[in-house]
Amino acid sequence: MKTAIITILSLSLFSVTVFSQSSDNTQKNASTTISDLQSRWAIANYELKDEKQLKAFQQLVADAETATNAQANEAGIWVWSGIIKSTFAGVKGGLGALKYAKAAKVDLDQAINIDGDVLQGSAYTSLGTLYYQVPGWPIGFGDNEKAQALLTKAMAINPDGIDSNYFYAQYLLGEKQYRKAEQHLLKAQSAKPRPHRPLADKGRQAEIAVLLAETQKKVAL
């Protein structure tokens, strides 16, 4: 009887160890996938132009979909799939853009359903941005009230973030809240560099500088 109990306990401990190792490996795989998508997105978004950029994003969209199919429970991968598709929508433009904007919305909704706080609330930032950039009904799903709610939530999660402040400022500028937009752009400008994302930070800071100059002209009027 004693031997049987020891055997059961040993098997239980072995199962816990295997489960823990499996969970760790899954998280490592997800982190590697996210890092790869992030770095390739930055190159496609900030360094490539024209046909090379389109082809890079087409491949990124396909690879992101493969990643979400393989790791469907990883919220961070859904976030980056959504970011890639929403950026591609902007790059592509025209009638085909809305298809990718809608697909991005689906991915970001899925990320929020799994874990909205993942990657410092990036899903709320990206989805909020989509809501104010996409046309409203009957063409698209754009909705400024939803945009504000999502962007405000993102700010609550990551009040000092470069992206949370930049995209909220972009929204505020569209709403003609120039002074408030300026405050958030200055905050975005002073955000700490993100680990392993120098190209993305450099590109975003350039965008912040342009938008800040535009905003300060409006503040001065």
pLDDT, tens digit, 9 for 90 and up, residues 37-46 = 999 999 999 9
Domain that holds residue 177: 159-221
Domain assignment of residue 90, yes or no:
yes
Same domain as 176, residue 137 = no
Q: What is the mean pLDDT of residues 94-114?
A: 95
pLDDT at residue 122 tops 80: yes
Residue 18: the pLDDT is 43
The rounded distance, in Å, linking the Cα atoms of 96 and 154 is 28
Q: Give the domain-ending residue among 97, 123, 146.
A: 146
Using N-to-C axis directions, what is the helix angle for 50-70 and 97-115, rounded to 10°? 30
Same domain as 125, residue 55 = yes
Same domain as 65, residue 168 = no
Cα–Cα distances in angstroms (integers) from residue 126 to residues 3, 18, 129, 156, 186, in the given order? 57, 36, 5, 15, 20
Condensed to tens digits (0 to 9), the pLDDT of residues 19-30 reads 445 445 556 689
pLDDT bucket at 147, cuts 50 / 70 / 90: very high
Domain assignment of residue 131, yes or no:
yes
Q: Give the domain-ending residue among 113, 146, 179.
A: 146
Condensed to tens digits (0 to 9), the pLDDT of residues 160-216 reads 999 999 999 999 999 999 999 999 999 999 999 999 999 999 999 999 999 999 999
Cα–Cα distances in angstroms (integers) from residue 84 to residues 87, 153, 179, in the given order? 5, 21, 31
Domain assignment of residue 21, yes or no:
no
Same domain as 99, residue 43 = yes
- Within 8 A by CB and 6+ apart from 213, the residues are none
Same domain as 137, residue 46 = yes
| pLDDT-wise least confident of 52-56, 82-86, 90-94, 212-216 | 90-94
Q: Give the domain-ending residue among 115, 146, 177.
A: 146
Q: What is the mean pLDDT of residues 79-99?
A: 95
CATH number of the domain residue 89 falls in:
1.25.40
The rounded distance, in Å, linking the Cα atoms of 31 and 138 is 38
pLDDT bucket at 156, cuts 50 / 70 / 90: very high
Same domain as 182, residue 74 = no
Note whether 86 and 132 are within 8 A (CB).
no
Same domain as 48, residue 105 = yes
Same domain as 164, residue 61 = no
> Residue 195: is the preceding peptide bond cis (ω within 30°)?
no
The rounded distance, in Å, linking the Cα atoms of 73 and 90 is 27
Domain assignment of residue 115, yes or no:
yes
Same domain as 211, residue 120 = no
Domain assignment of residue 50, yes or no:
yes
The rounded distance, in Å, linking the Cα atoms of 204 and 118 is 21
Domain assignment of residue 136, yes or no:
yes
Q: Count structural domains, the chain.
A: 2
Q: What is the mean pLDDT of residues 73-78?
A: 98
Residue with tokens 């132009």: 49
Same domain as 119, residue 166 = no
Cα–Cα distances in angstroms (integers) from residue 44 to residues 59, 92, 129, in the given order? 10, 13, 20
pLDDT bucket at 5, cuts 50 / 70 / 90: very low
- Within 8 A by CB and 6+ apart from 35, the residues are 196
Amino acid (1-letter code) at residue 59: Q
Same domain as 207, residue 181 = yes
